[in-house]
């Protein structure tokens, strides 16, 4: 029987996240924070950012930031600009459509299957991350929102027992740009979107595969809408 359920600033230096509950090195944690800021749209495509500027923003020293940005450059998320810093790479509408298509092919059926295969205790263990997403949305903390969102979804997919699948989806998420998050915060709509994570978790615990499919399809549609908003504002 499933465990009992319950519901649940850019100006300040951002906390360094630990994605997926893993123990990370300091450099990896800095890279995670930078990725989250990039995905959330707080680091804009085409803009050049210096390591010292980013270090001050995140309340860390410049060296781990510089090293982390080099890691992001290897992933194709930023380009090195000699003597200036790093430029955030842009993504095209075609790329965004392709990302959404691949994610839908992977995430929807995998998550639906979890409605019948996942251990309820393991599913319930994801509730704190789902609540963190809602809390971050209410606070307008976009970096925390993205970090918790990645942790929730990759943690959920990990229950399928396919590490390569998780790696592929993780890479697609790294390459996303959710510039529309700011607009949702201003419109007071981000929290509604965040609540979908709790809705999804409840559907999984109810073993309702069709409800899981509906929520996941709607959720990925929202993500693509955010990407499109980013492209139109770029």
Q: Could you tell me the domains of the chain?
A: 24-88 (1.10.10.10), 93-224 (1.20.120.530)
Say if residues 32 and 42 touch (Cβ distance below 8 Å).
no
Pick 136 or 10 by higher pLDDT: 136
Q: How confident is the model at residue 16 (pLDDT cuts 50, 70, 90)?
A: very low
Pick 42 or 230 by higher pLDDT: 42
> Does residue 156 carry a pLDDT above 70?
yes
Provide the whole-model pTM.
Answer: 0.79
Say if residues 148 and 133 touch (Cβ distance below 8 Å).
yes
Closest among 43, 41, 46, 38 to 81, alpha carbons compared: 46
């Amino acid at each position: 029987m499933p465990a009992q359920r319950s519901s649940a600033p850019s100006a300040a230096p951002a906390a360094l996240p630990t994605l997926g509950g893993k123990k990370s090195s300091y450099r990896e944690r800095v890279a995670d924070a930078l990725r989250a800021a990039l995905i959330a749209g707080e680091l804009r495509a085409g803009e050049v950012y210096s390591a010292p500027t980013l270090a001050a923003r995140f309340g860390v020293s410049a060296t781990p930031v510089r090293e982390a940005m080099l890691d992001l450059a290897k992933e194709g998320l930023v380009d090195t600009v000699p003597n200036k810093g790093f430029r955030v790479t842009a993504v095209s509408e075609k790329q965004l459509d392709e990302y959404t298509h691949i994610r839908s092919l992977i995430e929807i059926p995998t998550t639906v299957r979890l409605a019948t295969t996942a251990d309820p205790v393991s599913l319930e263990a994801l509730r704190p991350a789902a609540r963190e997403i809602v809390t971050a949305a209410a606070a307008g903390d976009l970096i925390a929102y993205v970090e918790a969102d990645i942790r929730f979804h990759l943690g959920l997919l990990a229950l399928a027992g396919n590490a390569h699948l998780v790696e592929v989806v993780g890479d697609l998420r790294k390459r996303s740009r959710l510039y529309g998050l700011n607009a949702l915060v201003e419109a007071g709509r981000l929290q509604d979107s965040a609540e979908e994570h709790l809705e999804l978790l409840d559907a999984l615990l109810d073993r309702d595969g069709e409800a899981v499919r509906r929520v996941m399809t709607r959720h990925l549609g929202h993500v693509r809408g955010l990407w499109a908003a980013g492209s139109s504002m770029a």
